[in-house]
């Protein structure tokens, strides 16, 4: 009897030792960040895509075909880009992301439950060329393949993998974990790369975590919406623009404050490609491809005006009365 008790204790201890990471939204200690959190001060403004195959084991399956390059920009709204097997998205931001205490950004996927978890690696760059991957960990079992519709994921077994939380809840990442990486300036991250994890545990395309464990997630998702579904990346900490400190002096925005149905005008020596008025939560309210922007009964409050040029984006707060 003592031997059985000891064996059971060992099994239970082993199980709980693997469930060492933060759990799903609503559970004690979760790190899930709701999309409306006031911690988010900005969102991705552009993306480049290299979509993967619908089924990486079938070269004739075609690439994923749900969403486009605009889908993962701005506030998480459920309009995602499906990356396909091992597909890649590289996102850029109005201002560099910087390292401060706590998480610095969060990645949103659109999983429909706490158990259906499609995962992705996350890498960052401060020059747009050299990328460093967060040390991902997956302690999910590798005896049985998780199928395309099996809700068998467990957030407590996952760390530093995007998609660990269901739709509308971002998975946070802390740049401090990458401190000291040669060639990476964690005080000025300009690009974030999201790479779909294929999820197979047997075959030629198994992918591994930082500990050498195969990562098991839904496979094969052999349909156009397959792979990691990237909804958004929210910025928690951002630094100054990587150009002149007094860049704001090159833009005259008037009137500011502006009336709720007024016209914002911009005078600058730069060639403007787009103007975008955003709420502080990242919702796009108005856009223009000229040097002026018409407001349409915009409620009183504080907003963010993004002025996009060929090489950079300048952001300024706007007061609407």
Predicted confidence (pLDDT) per residue in 116-168, tens digit: 999 999 999 999 999 999 999 999 999 999 999 899 999 999 999 999 999 99
Report how far residue 185's alpha carbon sits from residue 178's, in angstroms, rounded to the nearest whole number.
9
State the pLDDT at residue 317: 79
DSSP code at position 182 = T
Q: Where in the chain is the domain with CATH 2.60.120?
A: 17-239
Tell me which residue of 199, 217, 169, 147 sits closest to 22, measured CA to CA.
169
Longest dimension (CA), the chain: 84
Tell me which residue of 287, 295, 192 sits closest to 234, measured CA to CA.
192
Q: How confident is the model at residue 84 (pLDDT cuts 50, 70, 90)?
A: very high
**Token pair belonging to 110:** 């659109």
Q: How many CB atoms lie within 10 A of CB 143?
A: 6
- pLDDT mean over 262-283: 85
Which of 15-19, 85-89, 138-142, 312-316 has the weakest average pLDDT? 15-19
Report how far residue 268's alpha carbon sits from residue 251's, in angstroms, rounded to the nearest whole number.
5
Q: Where in the chain is the domain with CATH 2.60.40.10?
A: 247-320
Mean of all residue pLDDT scores within the chain: 88
Asked whether the predicted pLDDT for residue 251 surpasses 90, the reply is: no
Tell me which residue of 249, 244, 122, 277 sits closest to 189, measured CA to CA.
122
State the pLDDT at residue 281: 66
Contact 189, 175 (CB under 8 A): yes
Percent of the chain that is helix, strand, coil (3-state, to 5): 10, 30, 60
**Token pair belonging to 24:** 């799903």
Q: What is the pLDDT of residues 50-62, one digit of tens each?
A: 999 999 999 999 9
State the pLDDT at residue 162: 98
What CATH topology corresponds to 247-320?
A: Immunoglobulin-like (2.60.40)
Q: Which CATH class is domain 17-239?
A: mainly beta
Report how far residue 321's alpha carbon sits from residue 80's, in angstroms, rounded to the nearest whole number.
34
Asked whether the predicted pLDDT for residue 8 surpasses 50, the reply is: no
Terminal-residue alpha carbon distance, the chain: 76
Cα–Cα–Cα angle for 177, 89, 72, rounded to 5 degrees: 100
- pLDDT mean over 11-21: 53
């Amino acid at each position: 009897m003592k031997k059985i008790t000891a064996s059971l204790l060992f099994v239970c201890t082993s199980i709980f030792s693997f469930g060492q990471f933060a759990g799903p939204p609503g559970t004690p200690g979760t790190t899930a960040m709701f999309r409306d959190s006031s911690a988010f001060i900005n969102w991705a403004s552009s993306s480049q895509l290299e979509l993967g195959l619908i089924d990486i084991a079938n070269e004739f399956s075609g690439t994923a075909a749900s969403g486009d390059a605009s889908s993962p920009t701005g506030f998480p709204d459920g309009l995602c880009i499906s990356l396909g097997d091992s597909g890649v998205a590289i996102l850029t931001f109005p201002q560099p992301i910087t390292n401060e205490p706590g998480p610095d950004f969060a990645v949103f996927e659109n999983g429909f439950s706490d158990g259906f978890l499609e995962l992705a690696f996350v890498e960052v760059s401060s020059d747009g060329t050299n990328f460093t991957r967060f040390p991902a960990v997956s302690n999910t079992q590798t005896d049985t393949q998780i199928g395309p519709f099996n809700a068998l994921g467990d957030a407590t077994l996952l760390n530093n993998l995007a998609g660990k939380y269901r739709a509308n809840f971002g998975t946070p990442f802390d740049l401090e974990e990458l401190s000291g990486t040669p060639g990476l300036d964690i005080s000025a991250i300009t690009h974030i790369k999201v790479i779909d994890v294929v999820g197979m545990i047997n075959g030629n395309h198994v992918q591994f975590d930082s500990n050498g464990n195969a990562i098991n997630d839904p496979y094969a998702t052999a349909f156009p919406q397959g792979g990691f579904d990237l909804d958004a990346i929210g910025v928690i900490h951002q630094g100054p623009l990587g150009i002149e400190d007094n860049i704001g002096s090159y833009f005259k925005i008037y009137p500011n404050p502006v009336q709720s149905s007024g016209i914002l005008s911009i005078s600058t020596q730069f060639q403007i490609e787009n103007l975008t008025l955003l709420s502080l939560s990242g919702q796009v309210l108005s856009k223009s491809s000229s040097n002026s922007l018409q407001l349409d009964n915009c409620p009183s409050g504080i907003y963010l005006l993004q002025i996009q040029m060929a090489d950079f984006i300048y952001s300024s707060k706007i007061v609407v009365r």
